[in-house]
Amino acid sequence: MVCLDQRRCVVHKLSTKKAFIAYFAFGWLLLIVADRVDELRVYQGATIAVTTLAIASIILLTGYSGQVSLGQGAFLAVGAYAAALSQTYWQSPFWFTLLIAILVSAAFGFILAFAAGRMSGPYLAGTTLALAVGLPTLANQFSFLGGETGLVYDAGLPPERFGEEFTLYKWFFWIAAFVALIAMFLLRNLLNSRFGRTWKALRANSTAASLCGVNVAQSKITAFTISAGLAGLAGALLGMISIVAPSAFPLSLSFTIITGAILAGVTSLLGSMLGAVILVVIPEIADVIAHQFGDSEKITTNLPGFIVSVLLILTVLFSPNGPAEAMRKRKEQHAKH
Amino acid sequence: MISLRRKKSILAAVAVTSFALIASAVPANAEVGVSSTEIKLGTTVPMTGIAAPGYNKVAPAMKAYFDYINDNGGVYGRKINLIIKDDRYIPQEAINKTNELILKDKVFALVGQLGTANHLAVTSKVRIASRNIPSLFLNTGYSGFADVKKFKTSFMHFPTYVAEAKILSSYIKENFTGKKTCLLVQNDEFGADASKGFAAAGLTFDETVKYVSGTQSATTAQTWITRFAGAKCEVVVLFSVSSATAAALGVASAAGYKPQWILGSVGADSTTLRIALNNPQAQALLNGAIGVSFMPDALDTTDEYISLFREVNTKYSPGVAFDTNVLVGMNAAMLTVQALRAAGKNPTRRSLIAAMESKGSTFASAAYGNLAVSKTSRAGFTGYWFGKFNLAGALIPLDAGRTMYTTDSGTGPVTKASAKRAPLPAKGIPTNS
């Protein structure tokens, strides 16, 4: 932060070089921590990494370009199935399947954005919602998609040189965290570039942006495409940890991702990790509470959803842009004084 | 430039977070899930959701029997603690809940997991085989689970669906030659297994309806019955889960459609019918239907195993009606106790698997015949007897001698033999080693 005088202070973002160092250092920290914690935490860490990516796709789409999608789960499904199909039928190497997942879901997003280009607000939200409802069930209609059982999608076993103690879930965590860090770094740079500034202008006032020479339709389509690609990557990683089957991509997944984005702040990329942590921690909290009530399975099943709903309401009422954004504004106000 | 104060805050946050995470690290345990006082087991079943009617009684029934054993000394002094998780019959949930059981609850073994698609998802993603985690007495007859190479640590309970379909085919060919025969199956591995069995037996159907798991309801059943009635099916095989069987029978009854029903073992339970159709007299819909079972009928109080299990149910699950689902749960639990005993006084996951392989075929059970488990097979029981349901929903053997039809999951023939099984252990408490 640089203070020009007693009244004007500007918070500078980290330069790209410094951001790279920060992400690199954070990655190393994650590796060290993964080596020290038990398998449950590592598994949760992998889930957090995947959820962070999924939430980041919403932050780009909604927080930056102002487009609402209630069906991000559909893009996760497209990415996961694309990755699984390329592995099953083309025997593609795992890392290549991730690229396939990004490209296919981005292409899907591009087509959808083009088709729904004139829609916005609740109409676009409704279209994406319909997609989230209908798309996963297509797997039951075509046998090559594996039906209810789904498709096998495998990251393979950890390299033997890591030793027997290196568990499969640690391997998943390494992959998910590595991919998520790279994707988030690239996304950060993108959002700090002219693309990000253009999307912010769109979100603020698309008419004004248009008058300033911004091609509104093209910018929206670009945002939608990149967001879909990112979601597809998250979907492939989710398929790696979980399964590639309709049951892995229910409608509730889309709502969970949006909830995570809102809880953390739809305009805050850093907040996407906070949102992911909250979503993973809530079932743990629900378990502790359920334990107080005799480990009732009904409480354990329903309480996480209840807690998330309450948090969502509180966030919208008291911190609509999320806690990360609220902290940033408090810092700016503090800097001014 | 980051201020010094901010740097200190960041470093403090990182230090605290790292310390907390490191402190939560759990040292390796000698054998997971076994202590001097307790053996922790876990199961994932549909306690809620569309497949819950009936199946949500299986795991509590297991727990009831384990409680009975615990009150009678446990297994070598250790109490069995069964942790039940609800997977709502959704494969994704089965993975999540199994991971919770293994990673969080740290169970010794899994037991009685229910559902073909669910267990396929669990074995594929949770990789219990490579992690040497036993999953005993699966509540599914998917024939693939008998393959020891692919499912090294999974052990079946039921005869396979392929074998069951072959046995049903044999009966249909003997008794309903020339009649239009139709089939209802689930559109997943469960249904595919059955179809494989019917094909192996050379039985073809005039109309086959495949329903998507989770979509069964009175509305969808309407389309099934319309198709069967339209094809003038005289014999209809319902190889479906309880809720789908109930929906089909309910809709058919309302429409006045009365073919000869032949019910697969998975879906034929009178209590489930009553719950699913919300009709206390719904078991009457089973009247006249042909069914199969590998155990005595749950309503047969003259049977020593049924009598014992009913007593246990009355004491440890008061208010719960004893039916096929409770019988399946208790039988699996009795087999589990014998497996734990055979694993030795200091059981490990490896010794449990070895015990199943070497001694599993000798375990006493309400089921007729023996488990076909060995070093080279993970198969469960292998035979069925035929009966006809009466108005009370009881399955009455077609012949007094209770002829067992036995076959494999391949192309082997269906053979007949009289029903045999080991006598009930004293007071229903296994003492094997």
**Matching CATH topology for B38-160+299-382 and B163-293?**
yes
Residue A33 with chain B: CB contacts under 8 Å: 18, 21-22
CB contact under 8 A, A243 and B1: no
* Residues B238 and B262: beta-carbon distance below 8 Å: yes
Q: How many CA within 13 A on the CB side of residue B38? A: 12
How many residues belong to chain B?
A: 433
Provide the total of helices (H) and of strands (E) in chain A, helices listed first: 13, 2
E strands along B72-172, which residues?
79-86, 109-111, 135-138, 154-156
* Residues B163 and B382: beta-carbon distance below 8 Å: yes
Please give the DSSP secondary-structure letter assigned to residue A4: S
In tens digits, chain B (433 residues) has pLDDT values of 545 555 555 554 554 454 444 444 443 446 899 999 999 999 999 998 888 888 899 999 999 999 999 999 999 999 999 999 999 988 889 999 999 999 999 999 999 999 988 999 999 888 899 889 999 999 999 999 999 999 999 999 999 999 999 999 999 999 999 999 999 999 888 899 999 999 999 999 999 999 988 888 999 999 999 999 999 999 999 999 888 999 999 999 999 999 999 999 988 888 778 887 888 888 888 999 999 999 999 989 999 999 999 999 999 999 999 999 999 999 999 999 999 999 999 999 999 999 999 999 999 999 999 999 999 999 999 999 999 999 988 899 998 888 999 999 888 999 998 889 999 999 999 999 8
Q: At what angle do helices A271-292 and A323-336 cross, to 10 degrees?
A: 120
Please give the DSSP secondary-structure letter assigned to residue A63: I
Residue B85 at interface with chain A, using a CB cutoff of 8 Å: yes
CB contact under 8 A, A148 and B120: no
User: Residues of B numbered 192-231 whose beta carbons fall under 8 angstroms of chain A's beta carbons: which are they?
Assistant: 212-214
Query: A66 vs chain B: nearest CA distance in angstroms?
Result: 31
Residue B104 with chain A: CB contacts under 8 Å: 40, 287
A37, A140, A298 member nearest B24 (Cβ):
A37
Q: Per CATH, which fold does B163-293 belong to?
A: Rossmann fold (3.40.50)
Query: B91 vs chain A: nearest CA distance in angstroms?
Result: 6
Residue B26 with chain A: CB contacts under 8 Å: 38
Q: Is A6 exposed, middle or buried (0-12, 13-18, 19+ CB in 10 A)?
A: exposed
SS3 A155: coil
Select from B4, B29, B103 the residue whose CB has the most chain A CBs within 10 Å, as the one to mutate to test that interface. Answer: B103
The answer for residues whose C-beta is within 8 angstroms of residue B191's C-beta and 6 or more apart is: B185, B210, B239
What is the Cα–Cα distance from B330 to B424, expressed in whole angstroms? 13
Query: A268 vs chain B: nearest CA distance in angstroms?
Result: 18
Q: Where are the alpha helices (DSSP H) in B201-323?
A: 218-230, 242-255, 270-277, 304-316
Residue B39 phi, psi dihedral angles, 5° rounding = -120, 125
Query: A122 vs chain B: nearest CA distance in angstroms?
Result: 29
Structure tokens given for A83: 């990755």
Q: Where are the alpha helices (DSSP H) in B233-383?
A: 242-255, 270-277, 304-316, 324-342, 349-359
SS3 A151: strand
Dmax (CA) for chain B in angstroms is 91
Q: Per CATH, which fold does B38-160+299-382 belong to?
A: Rossmann fold (3.40.50)
Chain B, nearest residue to A152 by Cα:
B124
What is the Cα–Cα distance from B22 to B392, expressed in whole angstroms? 61
Residue A248 with chain B: CB contacts under 8 Å: 91-92
CA dihedral B197, B202, B204, B210 (to 10 degrees): 10
* Residues B63 and B82: beta-carbon distance below 8 Å: yes
The answer for residues whose C-beta is within 8 angstroms of residue A38's C-beta and 6 or more apart is: B24, B25, B26, B103
Structure tokens given for B284: 């009457």
Could you give the angle at the alpha carbon of B95 between the alpha carbons of B92 and B96, nearest 5°? 90
Select from B3, B7, B21 the residue whose CB has the most chain A CBs within 10 Å, as the one to mutate to test that interface. Answer: B21
What is the Cα–Cα distance from B99 to B118, expressed in whole angstroms? 13
Residue A252 at interface with chain B, using a CB cutoff of 8 Å: no
The answer for residues whose C-beta is within 8 angstroms of residue B331's C-beta and 6 or more apart is: B157, B295, B305, B309, B365, B366, B367
Query: CB A53: neighbour CB atoms within 10 A?
Result: 30
What is the Cα–Cα distance from B115 to B282, expressed in whole angstroms? 25
What is the Cα–Cα distance from A69 to A54, expressed in whole angstroms? 12
Chain A, nearest residue to B24 by Cα:
A37
pLDDT for A5: 47
Position A45, amino acid: G
Residue B124 at interface with chain A, using a CB cutoff of 8 Å: yes
CB contact under 8 A, B95 and A297: no
Question: pLDDT, tens digit, for every residue of A18-73?
Answer: 888 888 888 888 888 888 888 889 999 999 999 999 999 999 998 888 888 888 99
Could you give the angle at the alpha carbon of A101 between the alpha carbons of A99 and A104, nearest 5°? 105
Tell me, yes or no, if the pTM score tops 0.95: no
Domain boundaries, chain B: 38-160+299-382, 163-293
CB contact under 8 A, B188 and A148: yes
The answer for residues whose C-beta is within 8 angstroms of residue A328's C-beta and 6 or more apart is: A11, A268
E strands along chain A, which residues?
2-3, 9-10
pLDDT for A307: 81
B24, B86, B95 member nearest A297 (Cβ):
B86
B21, B187, B188 member nearest A36 (Cβ):
B21
What is the Cα–Cα distance from A209 to A142, expressed in whole angstroms? 44
What is the Cα–Cα distance from B18 to A298, expressed in whole angstroms? 34
Q: How many CA within 13 A on the CB side of residue A33? A: 25
Q: E strand or H helix at A234, and its extent?
A: helix A216-241
SS3 B140: coil
Q: Count interface pairs A-B at CB distance under 8 A.
A: 86
What is the Cα–Cα distance from B55 to B329, expressed in whole angstroms? 9
List, for chain A, all residue ranges whose pLDDT scores fall below the cut of 50.
1-12
Expressed in angstroms, the distance from the first to the final Cα of chain B is: 72
Residue A147 at interface with chain B, using a CB cutoff of 8 Å: yes
Domain boundaries, chain A: 13-156+163-250
Strands B415-418 and B207-211: what pairing? Answer: unpaired
CB contact under 8 A, A149 and B127: no
CA distances from B190 to A128, B141, B206, B381 (A): 33, 8, 20, 17
What is the Cα–Cα distance from B205 to A272, expressed in whole angstroms? 54
Residue B90 with chain A: CB contacts under 8 Å: 247
What is the Cα–Cα distance from B80 to B66, expressed in whole angstroms? 6
Strands B290-293 and B260-263: what pairing? Answer: parallel
A209: left (phi over 0), alpha (psi -120 to 50) or beta: alpha
Query: A166 vs chain B: nearest CA distance in angstroms?
Result: 12
